[in-house]
Structure 1
Amino acid sequence: MAFSSEDIADHPNFVEALRGFAASLRQQFDESPRLSRMLASHQRWLLSQAAFALQLEYDPTQPGSGLTTTNLREIITSNNAASRNTVLNFLDQLLSYKFVRIVGDPTRRPKRYEATEISFQAMYQWVLTNLLVLDRLDGGDRVSRLQGRPDLLRQVQPQIARRACLDPRWLEPPPRVALFLWTEAGGLVMDELVRRAIEPLPGGDVYEIGRIDARQMAEHFMISRTHLQRLFRRAVEAGCLSWPDDTRKSCLLSRDFLREYCQWQAVKFSIVDHAYEKICGPVDLGKPEPLLGAVREA
């Protein structure tokens, strides 16, 4: 039976699994920075998932189906995730970076787009990485089954996208989480903070996450240093981050804030698990945990 979001959030191994997830996303960013940035804010995540699902759902017998500006706009604007102009700009960016291509006659309306190979591989990797977190919680075989039948991605991913775009708990992050996730590249910054949160300090209220070098982080993630510094100031004001002294040699991450983030991420992982189970059937539990390397080699 698929996990509920409460089951995931309360699982004793979830924080550790989420750290591994964040580390995997960081590696994927290092391997393909420009593509990773297309998922680096919640708005872009929603746009990317919806766009990929639409192109997988293309039916040649149904005129107007597939990834078109109109179809993407209908999904995204119906839940106020983005404006019409944002949808247009997003598709233009995907096209200019060659993450999608126009199919058929480019002068016909509506234009239909499809994902290029690099986008297919990135989405496949993303789904595997999410399934790995779930396998680490119950010893399931989700990763190995999808690796054995990669064609199932065409059915699983639209299920994930459709469910995610309809679940208000996922659409609207908690205010402190939204502070990061609704900003440019905020997802990359959040992953970096989670990746560093290894052990809470005595007392259990905070994690020591080391020195935060805003200049270096901004350069690595290709974002404005001013934007990043403003984000950190707002995070301190909201009680997400703090510094124990004026030297700022080490930053502290609030355990309550990490818990909020885990609860929100648990909604997404539950969506992924329910989508997987609907397409692939019940999970076979108790098998050895897949190695992270096995996912990277897929």
Structure 2
Amino acid sequence: MSLSVDEIAASPVFAEALRSFASKMRLQFDESPRLARMLASHQRWLLSQSAFALHLEYDPSKPGSGLTTTNLREIITVNNAASRNTVLNYLDQLLSYRFVRLAGDSNRRPRRYEATEVSHDAMFRWVVANLAVLDAIDGGRREERIRQAPDLFRQLQPQIAHRAAYDQRWVNPPERVALFLWTEAGGLVMDELIRRATEIVPGVDGYDLGKLEARVLAEHFMISRTHLQRLLRRSVEIGGLSVYGPQKNHYILAKDFLTEYRYWQAVKFALVDEAYEAVCGPALTQKPVISRTAEI
């Protein structure tokens, strides 16, 4: 059986695995900033996963199948994740950046899009990175399996995308998480916070993030410095972050905020594992025994 949300969240290795995952996402952004930004907010994450799934599910024998504006809109608007115009603008942007191309006769309606090779590579790496986290938790060999049989990826990614698009626990993050994730490039900022959250501050119920230089981070993630400063300030107001010491750019990540974020992420990893089991079968013959609760 696949791992449950509670089993993932309680795993003593989940915290480190999640930091490793955040570092991989940072590396992927550094290699291809424009492409990585397609997963850098929760809205774009949902759009990108659903769009890629539709691309993979194209069936020439079924007229109207595949990645079209109508098909993507039908998935995304169910949960009010994006408006019709947002879907249109999103596909136009993908086309402009050559992350997708028009398939077949561009004059035919509805127009169908297909992912380019660079998008295939990025999504494969994203799936592999998620499987690696699950393997770290229970000693499975999911990553090895998908690398040995990459055609399974074409079945697995749509399973992940459809589960995620309709699971309200994932679609609607907790308020303090949503503050970052529903904003432009907020996922990149959140990954940076998680990557830094390694040391508990003595006498303070939180993790030392060190100095967050808004100008440097804003330039790196290609977002407005004012926007980033507003995010940090608002997070302080609702108890996600706090300022430590005399300098106003030294931050602490609240322990309960990190716990909240990890549990929300555990929802996604559980969905990934459900999808993996549906496509590839159980990763293990039996579930692992989790001997102690993770330090969160």
Bin of the TM-score, shorter chain as denominator length: over 0.9
Dislocated runs of 4+, deviation >2 Å: 201-204
Letter in 2 for 1:251: Y
Counterparts of 2:285 and 2:208, CA distance in 1: 35
Contact persistence 1:200–1:207 (CA under 8 A): yes
Superposition deviation, residue 234 in structure 1: 0.3
Counterparts of 1:86 and 1:50, CA distance in 2: 14
Counterparts of 1:242 and 1:155, CA distance in 2: 43
Contact persistence 1:138–1:285 (CA under 8 A): no
Tell me the residue number matched to 2:84. 84
Scaled by the length of structure 1, the TM-score of the pair is: 0.94
Superposition deviation, residue 52 in structure 1: 0.2
The answer to whether the aligner puts 1:54 opposite 2:33 as a matched pair is: no
Tell me the residue number matched to 2:292. none
Flag the 1:66–1:195 CA change in 2: closer, same or farther, 3 A.
same
Letter in 1 for 2:90: F
Contact persistence 1:141–1:285 (CA under 8 A): no
The correspondence of residues 26-45 of structure 1 with structure 2, limited to 5 A, is: 26-45=26-45
Contact persistence 1:139–1:285 (CA under 8 A): no
SS in 2 for 1:107: coil
The correspondence of residues 125-144 of structure 1 with structure 2, limited to 5 A, is: 125-144=125-144
Contact persistence 2:213–2:249 (CA under 8 A): no
Counterparts of 2:248 and 2:149, CA distance in 1: 49
The correspondence of residues 253-292 of structure 1 with structure 2, limited to 5 A, is: 253-284=253-284
Superposition deviation, residue 248 in structure 1: 3.0
SS in 1 for 2:189: helix
Tell me the residue number matched to 1:96. 96
SS in 1 for 2:268: helix
Superposition deviation, residue 285 in structure 1: 7.0
Tell me the residue number matched to 1:236. 236
Counterparts of 2:227 and 2:238, CA distance in 1: 17
Tell me the residue number matched to 1:115. 115
Counterparts of 1:13 and 1:108, CA distance in 2: 51
Scaled by the length of structure 2, the TM-score of the pair is: 0.95
The correspondence of residues 207-222 of structure 1 with structure 2, limited to 5 A, is: 207-222=207-222
Counterparts of 2:4 and 2:113, CA distance in 1: 34
Tell me the residue number matched to 1:224. 224
The correspondence of residues 157-172 of structure 1 with structure 2, limited to 5 A, is: 157-172=157-172
Counterparts of 2:240 and 2:228, CA distance in 1: 15
SS in 1 for 2:21: helix
Superposition deviation, residue 12 in structure 1: 1.2
Counterparts of 1:204 and 1:272, CA distance in 2: 35
Counterparts of 1:249 and 1:81, CA distance in 2: 33
Letter in 1 for 2:8: I
Letter in 2 for 1:149: A
Letter in 2 for 1:202: P
Counterparts of 1:229 and 1:62, CA distance in 2: 49
Superposition deviation, residue 251 in structure 1: 1.4
Contact persistence 1:240–1:253 (CA under 8 A): yes
SS in 2 for 1:114: strand
Counterparts of 1:246 and 1:227, CA distance in 2: 23
The correspondence of residues 167-182 of structure 1 with structure 2, limited to 5 A, is: 167-182=167-182
SS in 2 for 1:207: strand
Counterparts of 1:224 and 1:45, CA distance in 2: 20
> What percentage of aligned pairs have identical amino acids?
67
Tell me the residue number matched to 2:74. 74
Counterparts of 2:173 and 2:284, CA distance in 1: 32
Letter in 1 for 2:162: R
- Aligned pair count? 286
Superposition deviation, residue 127 in structure 1: 0.2
